[in-house]
Amino acid sequence: MAVRDSSPIVGSLVAGILVLGLLYYAQSIFVPLVFSLFIIALVWPVQALLQQWMPKLLALLFTLSVTIFVIIAVGSSVAWGMSKLGQWLFANAGRYQEIYADWTEWLEEHGIAVAGPIADRFDVNWLVGFTQELAGRVNSFAGFALLVFVFVMLGLLEVEDFNRRLASPGAQPHGVRVLSANREIGAKLRRFMVVRTFASLLTGFVVWAFALFAGLELAAAWGAIAFALNYIPFLGPFVATAFPTLFAIAQFESWQSAILVFIGLNLIQFIIGSYLEPLLTGASLAISPFAVIFSVFFWSFMWGVSGAFIGVPILIAFIVYCSLASSSTWLVTLLSGGPSGKFAAGP
Quote the Cα angle for 189-143-234, to 5°: 40
pLDDT tens per residue across all 347 residues of the chain? 444 555 666 777 788 788 888 888 888 888 889 999 999 999 999 888 888 888 888 888 888 888 888 887 877 777 777 777 777 777 666 666 666 666 666 666 666 655 444 444 445 555 555 555 555 555 556 667 778 888 888 888 888 888 888 888 888 888 888 888 899 999 999 988 988 899 999 999 999 999 999 888 888 889 988 898 888 887 788 888 888 887 887 777 777 888 888 899 989 988 888 778 777 766 556 788 888 888 888 998 888 878 888 988 999 999 988 888 777 788 888 887 655 555 554 44
Report the distance separating Cα 89 and Cα 67, nearest Å.
33
Report the distance separating Cα 8 and Cα 189, nearest Å.
33
pLDDT at position 116 is 47
Report the distance separating Cα 215 and Cα 228, nearest Å.
22
- Tell me which DSSP letter residue 216 carries: -
pLDDT at position 133 is 58
Report the distance separating Cα 92 and Cα 123, nearest Å.
13
For the chain, what are the domain ranges? Answer: 27-335
pLDDT at position 274 is 76
Please give the full DSSP string across 84-98, using - where no structure is assigned.
HHHHHHHHHHHHHHH
Type of residue at 78:
V
Residues 6+ apart with CB under 8 A from 333: 341, 342
pLDDT at position 172 is 81
- Residue 325, by phi and psi: left (phi above 0), alpha (psi -120 to 50) or beta? beta
Type of residue at 38:
F
Burial (CB count within 10 angstroms: exposed 0-12, middle 13-18, buried 19+), residue 296: buried
Residues 6+ apart with CB under 8 A from 336: 286, 287, 288, 319, 342, 343
Report the distance separating Cα 159 and Cα 47, nearest Å.
10
